[in-house]
Amino acid sequence: MKKSKNFLQTIVEKDLQSGKYKEIITRFPPEPNGFPHIGHAKSIFINFGIARDYNGHCNLRMDDTNPTKEDTKYVEALKDAVLWLGYRWEGNIHFTSDYFTQIHEYAIKLITMGKAYVDSVDEEKMRELRGTVTEAGKRSKYAKRTVAENLDMFERMRKGEFKDGEHVLRAKIDMSSANMKMRDPLMYRIRHAEHFRTGNKWCIYPMYDFAHSLSDYIEGVSHSICTLEFENNRDIYNWVLDTLDLTPPRPYQHEFARLGINYTVMSKRKLLELVKGKYVNGWDDPRLPTIAGLRRKGYTPESIVTFCDKVGIAKANSMVDIAQLEFTIRADLNTKVPRVMCVLNPLKITLVNYREKGEKLDASYYPDDVPKKGSRALPFSREIYIERDDFEENPPKGYFRLTPEQPVRLKHGYIIACKEIIKDINGCITEIKAEYYPTSQSGSDSSGIKVKSAIHWVSADTAKRVEVRLYDRLYSSEIPESIEDLNPNSLKVITDALIEPAVVNEKPDERFQFERQGYFYADPIDYTDEKPVYNKIVGLKDSWGKKTKVTLQKSQTKEKKEQIDGEVVAMTPEQEKLFDRYKKELKLNSEIANTLARDADLSAFFEMALKVLYSPINLANIITNEVAREIKQSSKDSLKFTPNQIAELIEMVDKATISNKIAKQVFEEMVTSGANPKEIVEKRGLLQISDPDHIGRVIDEVIEKNYENLEKFRAGNKKLLGFFVGQVLKATGGKANPKLVNQLLVQKLG
């Protein structure tokens, strides 16, 4: 299926067609002041991707205009990241510092044109003169300096006659511009500091806006793609290039939305704080969202590129669920890596009736339905280890693994049954005496014994001791605000896990699925043959938040496969067809389509609701979250609500009769009372408020109460819009139409 174009591709194609550019040249321009993170991966994906798509090229340029924060080790990390992701830059690496001489000449040209001047007021005065959003600024008295005076002052700045901050060079643009950035922006400042490339050659350094536009021009860049926070800088970008009257073609700036992911932080400054404060073990700590961290954790470059592609290129900032990133790596590894057995928390089992010396079982590394083939000889013997929680003396209902009454299959091996439990003086189980069924071998089972699941295990005499590092989310809060939000359990080290010998001896791969545990990666740094170390890449399914049940399908083949807890099996052809339809036709995202397609109850529910109301995305959302939770907790027959009613509920959301938030409240009542959604809404007066006058009055009250925030907002802190929206929604008990609230607030806040 052909993918639709994103807005950047549309612009690029138009520019090629009109002949504006002969070749598409982009650049990825990081500041080498920290290791790149997955947000940078998105920028790399876009810049290098566009160049590749249109047979152009992309430069890698270090934006090194701030001598005090930059370092060559960061340059190396940036190079590594780009190469590892699979991209190649054109020619040498570029550095803005390569252009310092040219940029300096352009500054002199602007001074000569009367378009730039040396200002000598202090910082505070400068801020004061700048004005506010509602008030025009004023030029300082130094703006009257003549061209000759300015040239002289600027030259003396360059020669190092002044201290840091004594003078600056400013562009002479417009002190009353509505765009505060255009009020005579700084072009050069004095910094007596050694630069990691130019040493002490310069003590004046160009500011971002000035250096960036010119570097783009010097390199012949056609499309200068950056993130949204530079939107207001675009006017300066254009002003610099237009005013200098450069030979065309010249580059233009285009902005896209920054990538944000929950449960983590995404700014080099914050990452540096974590590294410096030793909250993590260096820039490549697998818990960090740095490229180096993800790589060390075991992410593949393909999975990251796929993720960047999937989140899309948009003009509105949004937060992506980290579960989506995890989904991508799982999907990537599912059919690629060998499946092996590793016991993290061993419990010894002695098979009392096993009298052989031991044997080797033939065990495939891959399930039948993946194209990859390969197998190993799996040692089996009288003493084995299983996972401690795969045995329960007093099992809860629905426990499918080994119990005193219930036999279980050893994956690739025999069925075993518990005969005796051995405990220490504290009552802790130290060993299980069990029997195996000689005729029950996997693949040629003639025992007739029924089991409900298969568990992983290792043979005691040949298993290797390994270290396993289990990673969890770095922060426990969805939108972390400070170090205090760090998750204290983000790293758990198990030093005495037991793994089957082939993994260590034969090393069939670097990445593995440890059966029922998740995906793991041989740590590229700490792994030695004496002490193998494996990092957990990701679990087999999302164990956080939205816990939707993945009902595992019993295989259609004659030989019935046991259900394995937590293992994500490949889809059946029917499920795949559903998945395809959900994704392509109904435009559901992959994760939701996956959940629905794999769960017959959920998809049946969804299909019924869809017949009543064609609103696939909203229906799928509530069904894979709220409805799935209820089905899981009770059973599908004891539900008090019907697909019909869910459709009715969503119809009210679609028609903006109620908000999404209210819909959740209504749902909770439907679950307990079984009442009709419409009745609940009427009875409880939950109708959405869409009357602009009504909302307007509430907004006025909220603004009055939060006058200080209003000023901050008007002074440029646009993030406070969210604060105001929240306050208005709260004041209406969540009933105000959020879209309308937004619109009206934007008008009123000015």
Per the structure block, which two tokens stand in for 376? 């190993």
Q: What one-character DSSP code corresponds to residue 99?
A: G
- Choosing among Mg ion, ligand ATP, none, which partner's interface includes residue 39 (Cβ < 5 to 8 Å by kind)? ligand ATP
CB of 95 to Mg ion, least distance (A): 16
Where do contacts with Mg ion occur on this chain (CB under 5 A)? 31
Contact by Cβ (8 Å): 626, 667: yes
Taking CB atoms, the residue at the shortest distance from ligand ATP is 39
Nearer to ligand ATP by C-beta: 83 or 687? 83
- Choosing among ligand ATP, Mg ion, none, which partner's interface includes residue 267 (Cβ < 5 to 8 Å by kind)? ligand ATP
Of 212, 268, 295, 516, the one binding ligand ATP (CB under 6 A) is 268
Sign of the Cα torsion 355, 358, 360, 361 reads positive
Residue 27 touching ligand ATP (CB under 6 A):
no
How far, CA to CA in Å, does 724 sit from each of 26, 585, 673, 710, 740?
38, 38, 35, 9, 13
Residue 30 touching ligand ATP (CB under 6 A):
yes
Contact by Cβ (8 Å): 646, 627: yes
Distance of CA 237 to the CA centre of its chain: 30
Backbone angles phi, psi at 508, to 5 degrees: -65, -15
Q: What is the dihedral of CA 138, 140, 146, 147, to 10 degrees?
A: -80
Of 13, 15, 31, 472, the one binding ligand ATP (CB under 6 A) is 31
* Cα–Cα–Cα angle for 593, 597, 603, rounded to 5 degrees: 100
CB of 595 to ligand ATP, least distance (A): 27
Of 6, 43, 96, 150, the one binding ligand ATP (CB under 6 A) is 43
Window 59-88: contact mask with ligand ATP (x via CB under 6 A): ----x-------------------------
Nearer to ligand ATP by C-beta: 80 or 467? 80
- From the list 259-267, 507-515, 544-552, 569-577, the region that binds ligand ATP by CB under 6 A is 259-267
Nearest of 350, 429, 559, 399 to residue 408 by alpha carbon: 399
Residue 29 touching ligand ATP (CB under 6 A):
yes
Per the structure block, which two tokens stand in for 214? 């010119």
Residues catalogued as catalytic: 31, 258, 268
Taking CB atoms, the residue at the shortest distance from Mg ion is 31
Residue 301 touching ligand ATP (CB under 6 A):
no
Residue 370 touching ligand ATP (CB under 6 A):
no
Of 8, 21, 26, 40, the one binding ligand ATP (CB under 6 A) is 40
What gap in Å lies between CA 455 and CA 563, rounded to an integer?
10
Of 266, 377, 608, 749, the one binding ligand ATP (CB under 6 A) is 266
Contact by Cβ (8 Å): 172, 117: yes
Q: What is the dihedral of CA 638, 641, 642, 645, to 10 degrees?
A: 180
CB of 292 to Mg ion, least distance (A): 18
Residue 49 touching ligand ATP (CB under 6 A):
no
Burial of 56 (0-12, 13-18, 19+ CB in 10 A): buried
Nearer to ligand ATP by C-beta: 29 or 49? 29
Of 8, 25, 26, 39, the one binding ligand ATP (CB under 6 A) is 39
CB of 267 to ligand ATP, least distance (A): 4
Count, residues near ligand ATP per rule CB under 6 A = 16
DSSP H or E stretch at residue 703: helix 692-705
Give the DSSP per-residue string, 485-512. Answer: GB-TTSEEEEEEEEE-HHHHHT---SEE
CB of 719 to Mg ion, least distance (A): 18
Residue 93 touching ligand ATP (CB under 6 A):
no
Instruction: Sheet containing 116-119: give its strands across.
Output: 116-119, 168-171, 186-190, 204-206
Window 215-254: contact mask with ligand ATP (x via CB under 6 A): -----------xx---------------------------
CB of 322 to ligand ATP, least distance (A): 14
> Where do contacts with ligand ATP occur on this chain (CB under 6 A)?
29-31, 39-40, 42-43, 63, 226-227, 258-259, 266-269
